[in-house]
Chain A
C-alpha cells in the first residue's frame, strides 16, 4: 500500500508549502525531485542539441533523448520505439492527427465520432476538422449515471436505454475519438470494447484514444486497447510540462504526411524538392523539449516504482472516502457528478454545493491553502449537457491522504457557512 507521508517527502513543493492540500492533480500533478533533478542534469551536464553534433555532449543528449522513446514504448507496450512521437502535450498530439489523417481520411459526407464528455482537446480539433471537410460530427451522449449507454454485448438488446453501436458507427465513420477517463465525471470508458465493436462494423476507421487522464493512474497497453493512436501529457503523470506523447501504429504513421516542416524532420532538401525523414522524426520538426523528454523517464520510473495496482487501490480508497464524506456532510445540499459507484470512476470528484458558486468555493478553500479546480474544466459541452454553468473538482493522486479530504470537507463547511442566508 501507498504511504502518502513517505511519498510527500519526495515532492519538494511540500517543503516550500508545508500546509498545502493539493487536490488539483487532474489539471497537473506535482513533481518528484528525481524528475526535477533530471531536468537540471541535462542543462548542467550535457546541454547540447540532439541528432546533430559530432561531439560527445550532443551524443550523450541524443542517447538520453532516444532512450526516453524506448522507455515510453515499453511503458505503453508499443511494438517499437519508432511508434513514439514526442509532442508538446496531449492537445498537440490530437491536433497533429486532426491535421494529418483528419485531412487525408475524412471527406464530405463522412463522419467523425466522439463523445459529449470529451475534454476540449479531443473535441474542438475534430469538430473544426469535420466542419472544414463538410463531414458529420457525431457526439455520443451520456446517460443519467454519466456513462455512455452503448450496447457492447454483441447481442441485440431489448433495453431502450442502450444504444446499438450500428446506430452510431457506419462505413462512413472515419475517425472515432474517445477519452479513456473523463476529466470531469471520472467515468472510465470501456474503450477496448467500444473500439472492438466499432471496428467490427468498420475495420477501416481510425480509433484515437485520449489517455491524458488515464496514463497517470492505470497501466496502459496499446495492443490490448486495440486503438490506432493514443495521446497523453507528461505533466499530469509527475513529468515536466511542455512534453506530450503520441503513440501510433507504425504502418499508419509511415503513410501519414508530416505535421510541421523544418529542421530534424527532413531527409534531403534541395531547391526543387524535399524528402522527409521516417517516422517518428518526420513528426518532430525543430528542437524539442530535450530536458523535458529526458526527465519523463524519471516520472515513468517513479510511477512504476510505486506500482499502478497500488496507485489504483489508493485512489479508489480516497474517492470512496471523499464521496461518502461529501454525501454524509451535505446530504441534499450537494450534487456529485459522475458514476455513483466509486469503483467505476477514477480518482476525482466534481460537485456542486447548493447556494455557493464554484469560484467562491475555490476562493474560500484557497484561504485555507486547499487547491481545487473550479469552472468548466475544458468540458463546456458536458457542462451544458449536465445543465450547470460550472462545477468544483477535487482530484487525488499518490501524495494525497484521508486528512486532505477531511480538510476539504472542513473548508466546504466554512464556504457553506459564509453563504448561508442571513435571516
Chain B
C-alpha cells in the first residue's frame, strides 16, 4: 500500500503552521543530510505552554507532512506534556508504515521540537 495517503498529501501540499512567529522565544535549524531536507522551527512559549509554533523549510512529503501534523498536535501543550510524547506517538500521527531510512524524515520535526523545548 502506498504511504502517500490523502492525509499525508494534504499536509504536504497545504502545510499547517507553515510560518514564522512574531516574538518567538526559541528558534532552531535542523538538517537531514541524507535527503538534503532543511527545517526551521520557532515557538512562542508563554506560562510554560507552547502558545504558538511555526516551521519553514524544504523536504520530502513525509518530513513536511510530519512537521505540519506535529505542530498542530503540540500547540497549546505544556513542556511536561511535550516531554511525555514518544516517537511512536509522532509516527502514529502519520499512521503509515515507514522503512528505517524514511523514519529520519518523519522524525526530523520531532527532533527540532525537542531541541526547542530543552533550550
**A residues in contact (CB < 8 Å) with B:** 357-360, 363-364, 367, 374-376, 380, 383, 388-390, 418-419, 421-422
Q: Say yes or no: A359 contacts B2, CB within 8 Å.
A: no
Q: Say yes or no: A422 contacts B13, CB within 8 Å.
A: yes
Q: Say yes or no: A376 contacts B36, CB within 8 Å.
A: yes
Q: Say yes or no: B9 contacts A359, CB within 8 Å.
A: no
Q: Can you show 27 pairs from A to B with CB atoms below 8 A apart?
A: A357-B35, A357-B59, A357-B60, A357-B61, A358-B35, A358-B60, A359-B35, A360-B60, A360-B61, A360-B62, A363-B102, A364-B2, A364-B4, A367-B2, A375-B34, A375-B36, A376-B36, A380-B33, A389-B36, A389-B37, A389-B38, A390-B36, A418-B9, A419-B12, A419-B13, A419-B61, A422-B13
**B residues in contact (CB < 8 Å) with A:** 2-4, 9, 12-13, 33-38, 58-62, 102, 105
In angstroms, Cα B36 to Cα A363, docked, is 16
In angstroms, Cα B99 to Cα A367, docked, is 12
B91 to chain A, nearest CB (A): 16
Q: Which residues of A contact B105 (CB under 8 A)?
A: 359
Q: Which residues of B contact A419 (CB under 8 A)?
A: 9, 12-13, 61
Instruction: Given A359-B102, A360-B60, verify A389-B35 contact (CB < 8 Å).
Output: yes
In angstroms, Cα B61 to Cα A134, docked, is 43
Which residue of B is nearest A374, CB measured?
B35
In angstroms, Cα B13 to Cα A375, docked, is 21
In angstroms, Cα B58 to Cα A359, docked, is 12
| Residue of A357, A358, A376 with most chain B CB atoms under a 10 A cut-off | A357
Which residue of A is nearest B13, CB measured?
A421
In angstroms, Cα B1 to Cα A364, docked, is 10
| Residue of B3, B59, B61 with most chain A CB atoms under a 10 A cut-off | B61
B36: which of A360, A364, A383, A418 is its contact (CB, 8 Å)?
Answer: A383
Q: Say yes or no: A363 contacts B13, CB within 8 Å.
A: no
A413 to chain B, nearest CB (A): 15
Which residue of B is nearest A367, CB measured?
B2
In angstroms, Cα B59 to Cα A386, docked, is 17
B1 to chain A, nearest CB (A): 9
A278 to chain B, nearest CB (A): 42
In angstroms, Cα B105 to Cα A364, docked, is 15
Which residue of B is nearest A376, CB measured?
B36
Q: Which residues of B contact A375 (CB under 8 A)?
A: 34-36
Q: Which residues of B contact A363 (CB under 8 A)?
A: 3-4, 102
A45 to chain B, nearest CB (A): 38
In angstroms, Cα B34 to Cα A388, docked, is 13
| Residue of B12, B36, B37 with most chain A CB atoms under a 10 A cut-off | B36
In angstroms, Cα B31 to Cα A376, docked, is 13
Q: Which residues of A contact B61 (CB under 8 A)?
A: 357, 360, 419
In angstroms, Cα B35 to Cα A419, docked, is 18
In angstroms, Cα B105 to Cα A359, docked, is 10
